[in-house]
Every structure is written in C-alpha cells, then in structure tokens.
C-alpha cells in the first residue's frame, strides 16, 4: 500500500506546527515562524487568545452539541449579534466556508423558486473566483483545475470577467437568479472590486429583481478594516457567506440574509447536524465580542495602512521582484514580477516567515489582526533579508 493515511490531496510542506503563540507558530523541531498566513485568514485573534480559549473551554465543559432539534440560546445570541452589526435580518450557521456559500446559492435559487418561478436558477459568477470545494461551489468557479475529474458539474452558473460591469449586465437573461461575487478576490490574487462594479451590480440586481450574494468568506469579519468588506462600497447586499475568521480557528461559517432574500428558506428547506452547535457559537461570540467594535476596526485600518505604506516603500528597492501592493486593511497582496511560490518557499524555509501564494502572481499577506509594532518590524526584517537573498530561477 502506498497511499498515506491522510488522503494525499494536499501538497503539504515540511513545516509541522505543534503550538501557537500569538503571531508565531512553533514547529515539531522547535523552529519559530512569524505567521503572516493565519491559517489562510482564519486566526484573526492570533494563536493563544485568552478570551477565545476561555470561551471554548467554558462551553466545552457545559454543553458541546445537541443538534437543531432543540432551541438554541447560543445560536440566537450570535445571530442577534450579527444582525445588529450588519445588513442582515437572519443567519444560517454552517461548519465551513463552502457550506456558507452553498447556503447562499440555495437562498438565491429559492428566492425565485419558492413560489414556482422555477426557470430562474442561473447565478452569474466571476472569472478566477474561489467559492470552495463542494460540487456546487466548484461549479460556481470557472477554474478548470478544480473541475478536472469531477464532472459533470452542477448546471446553472455563468462566468463573466471580474470587475467588468458591462459583461455582467450582458449576461443577464430570463433565467438569471442573482450574482455571486467576492468583493475582494482572495485565492484569485487579492483583487478588490472597484466601487463602480459593486455599486453597478447592486443597481442591476435591483432593476432585474436579482439577489446580490457576496462571498466574504475570506475578506469578511474585520479582515479589511470593516466588519464586512461591503461596507466600504457603500452598498448593502442581499446575502453574504461568511466563515474563515468568524470562529477565529474554530470551524464555523454563516450565511447572512435579509428577510426578503430569505423568503424561500422556510421550515425543512435546509439544515446541518453540527451547524450552529453551542461550542461553535461560543467561539463565534468570543470573536465577535473582540472584533465588532469601532476601536478594534479602527486599529485594523491603521495597521493595514502602516503595513501597506511600508510595503510600498519596500518594493521600490526590488523593482525586478515586485510590481505593486494591493488589497484592503490587513488583506494585502504583493503582485510579483516572478512566480510568487518559490519566494513564499524561500521566506518560509530560510527566514521563518509564513505567507500564502495566490493567483495572478500574488503573494498574500494575512497577518493575525492583533499584530503589534514588534511583529510588523520582525516582518520587515525577514522580508528584507528574504528579498536580498532570493535568487529567482532565470529561464
């Protein structure tokens, strides 16, 4: 037998973390890494946040899971907190990002189909989007590398160019049910949509009775300096998929919707055994209590601006390596003139700095939102040393 006990779907690297301390990860062999990956935008409170640990410990001792057969004081509390702080009137809790997007897709279809309008099923999505790895969410993305081996895909998605309002408009037909879009593409390379695009989609949705569903699984929950990224576009969506940071490392997700958008999501239409269990809700509450306030969000914006301006200065020293800095808040990307993956590996293996490569030749910087000046300085020391010693493979 040559297959590994862990199904070999991930090309894992040699770093094997066993412990986390604030913004650092410690490997099996004791090596200490500065973590500017945050478990892919998940550990927004860092790795040993006392409030989050305490909340999970306390809830684990009290009650972990009961299923959705029973009333949920814990779910009601977190749902109310999300409703109070967002556009939403109602929330469905999931265990992951893909499931939150899946719920968003079902909500968009059911909005039209709950009263028999079955010909409206198509959702317009965007080139280089990433929405997850379930059958519906890979079908929602045009990326063929995720489709191969898994055909046939789920019908009912139409891909158009990201940030191209005219293309989105031209794709609308009698079968269209809504839009699904990341306000800031994450895996696609930290590409924020323009103001005109997001506002234009809102207007098109209103004109054609379509739902505007946002995938904020990566950019949501304070990452961009507002609780959700849509706030910075001066629009209100109909549906938002949230996950990653929302549990701070505990696997939960949420699908947020207005009352109108959720009109098809009635008794018996959807469900999840674990979704919204007391343990997950305690983690979500601890995260929301930490991040959903003006003081914390202003800090994220200030840190994001500081990191960005220092990066912009920095890349001037290496015009052959870096092209530009982009993103919002502490969701930043360095667009490179070379493949970002070998540089990410170099930073990791020779300078103990963890980052994440993304599409469009971009190196993603996703530090915990609780980083301080010391970690910021450490980051630039490591990045400078890494850039100075890096030898791109010349063709």
Ligand X SMILES: *Cc1c(COP(=O)(O)O)cnc(C)c1O
Strand partners, 94: 253
DSSP conformation letters of 233-250: GT---SEEEE-GGGGBTB
Binding string to ligand X for residues 214 to 253, with x set by CB under 6 A, is what? -x-xx------------------------xx---------
Binding string to ligand X for residues 138 to 177, with x set by CB under 6 A, is what? ----------------------------------------
**Pick 132 or 386: Cβ nearer ligand X:** 132
Q: Which residue is nearest to ligand X (CB)?
A: 97
**Residue 125 annotated as lining a ligand binding site:** no
**Residue 273 annotated as lining a ligand binding site:** yes
**Residue 98 annotated as lining a ligand binding site:** yes
Applying CB under 6 A, does 97 fall inside the site for ligand X? yes
Q: In the range 257-276, which residues lie near ligand X by CB under 6 A?
A: none
Cα Rg of the chain, angstroms? 21
**Pick 354 or 383: Cβ nearer ligand X:** 354
How far apart CA 171 and CA 138 sit, in angstroms, is 20
DSSP 32: E
CA distances from 92 to 77, 104, 247 (A): 13, 10, 14
- In angstroms, give the least distance from the CB of 284 to ligand X: 14
**Residue 242 annotated as lining a ligand binding site:** no
How far apart CA 89 and CA 327 sit, in angstroms, is 29
**Pick 96 or 176: Cβ nearer ligand X:** 96
**Pick 275 or 386: Cβ nearer ligand X:** 275
- In angstroms, give the least distance from the CB of 219 to ligand X: 7
Token reading at 43: 């550990």
Find out whether 266 and 114 touch, Cβ atoms under 8 Å. Answer: yes
Applying CB under 6 A, does 359 fall inside the site for ligand X? no
Q: How many CA atoms lie within 13 A of 184 on its CB side?
A: 30
Binding string to ligand X for residues 44 to 63, with x set by CB under 6 A, is what? --------------------
**Residue 130 annotated as lining a ligand binding site:** yes
Find out whether 329 and 379 touch, Cβ atoms under 8 Å. Answer: no
**Residue 343 annotated as lining a ligand binding site:** no
CA of residue 75 relative to chain centroid, distance: 21
Q: Measured in Å, how far apart are the chain's first and last C-alpha atoms?
A: 39
Place of tokens 């009333």: 71
How far apart CA 179 and CA 159 sit, in angstroms, is 10
**Residue 137 annotated as lining a ligand binding site:** no
- Which of 47, 109, 112, 131 is the binder for ligand X (CB under 6 A)? 131
Token reading at 130: 């990433």
CA distances from 243 to 40, 44, 187, 216, 249 (A): 11, 12, 15, 8, 10
Applying CB under 6 A, does 191 fall inside the site for ligand X? no
- In angstroms, give the least distance from the CB of 251 to ligand X: 7
**Residue 258 annotated as lining a ligand binding site:** no
**Residue 27 annotated as lining a ligand binding site:** no
Binding site per annotation, positions? 97-98, 130, 133, 215-218, 272-273
Binding site per annotation, positions for pyridoxal 5'-phosphate? 97-98, 130, 215-218, 273
Point out which residues bind ligand X (CB under 6 A): 96-98, 101, 130-132, 182, 186-187, 215, 217-218, 243-244
């Amino acid at each position: 037998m040559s297959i590994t006990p862990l199904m070999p779907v991930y090309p894992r690297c040699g770093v094997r973390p066993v412990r986390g301390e604030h913004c650092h990860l410690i490997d099996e062999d004791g090596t200490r890494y500065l973590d500017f990956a945050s478990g892919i935008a998940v550990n927004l409170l860092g790795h040993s946040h006392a409030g989050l640990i305490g909340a999970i410990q306390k809830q684990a001792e009290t009650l972990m899971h009961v299923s959705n057969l029973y009333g949920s004081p814990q779910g009601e509390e977190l749902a109310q907190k999300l409703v109070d702080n967002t556009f939403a009137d109602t929330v469905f809790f999931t265990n992951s990002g893909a499931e939150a997007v899946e719920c968003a897709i079902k909500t968009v279809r059911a909005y039209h189909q709950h009263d028999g309008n079955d010909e409206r099923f198509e959702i317009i999505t965007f080139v280089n989007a990433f929405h997850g790895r379930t059958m519906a969410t890979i079908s929602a993305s045009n990326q063929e590398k995720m489709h191969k081996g898994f055909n046939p895909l789920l019908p009912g998605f139409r891909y158009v160019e990201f940030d191209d309002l005219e293309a989105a408009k031209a794709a609308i037909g009698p079968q269209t049910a809504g839009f699904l879009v990341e306000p800031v593409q994450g895996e696609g390379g930290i590409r924020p949509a323009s103001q005109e695009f997001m506002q234009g989609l809102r207007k098109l949705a209103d004109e054609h009775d379509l739902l505007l569903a946002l995938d904020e699984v990566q950019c949501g929950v304070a990452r961009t300096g507002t609780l959700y990224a849509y706030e910075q576009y001066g629009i209100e969506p109909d549906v938002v998929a949230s996950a990653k940071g929302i549990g701070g490392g505990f696997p939960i997700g949420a699908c947020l919707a207005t009352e109108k958008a959720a009109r098809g999501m009635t008794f018996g239409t959807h469900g999840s055994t674990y979704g919204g269990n007391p343990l997950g809700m305690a983690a979500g509450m601890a995260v929301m209590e930490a991040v959903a306030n003006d003081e914390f969000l202003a800090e994220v914006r200030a840190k994001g601006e500081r990191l960005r301006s220092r990066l912009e200065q920095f890349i001037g020293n290496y015009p052959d390596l870096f092209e530009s800095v982009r993103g919002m808040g502490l969701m930043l990307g360095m667009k490179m003139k070379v493949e970002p993956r070998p540089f990410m590996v170099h930073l990791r293996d020779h300078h103990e700095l963890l980052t994440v490569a993304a599409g469009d030749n971009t190196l993603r910087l996703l530090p915990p939102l609780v980083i301080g000046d010391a970690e910021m300085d450490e980051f630039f020391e490591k990045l400078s040393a890494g850039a100075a010693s890096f030898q791109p493979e010349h063709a």
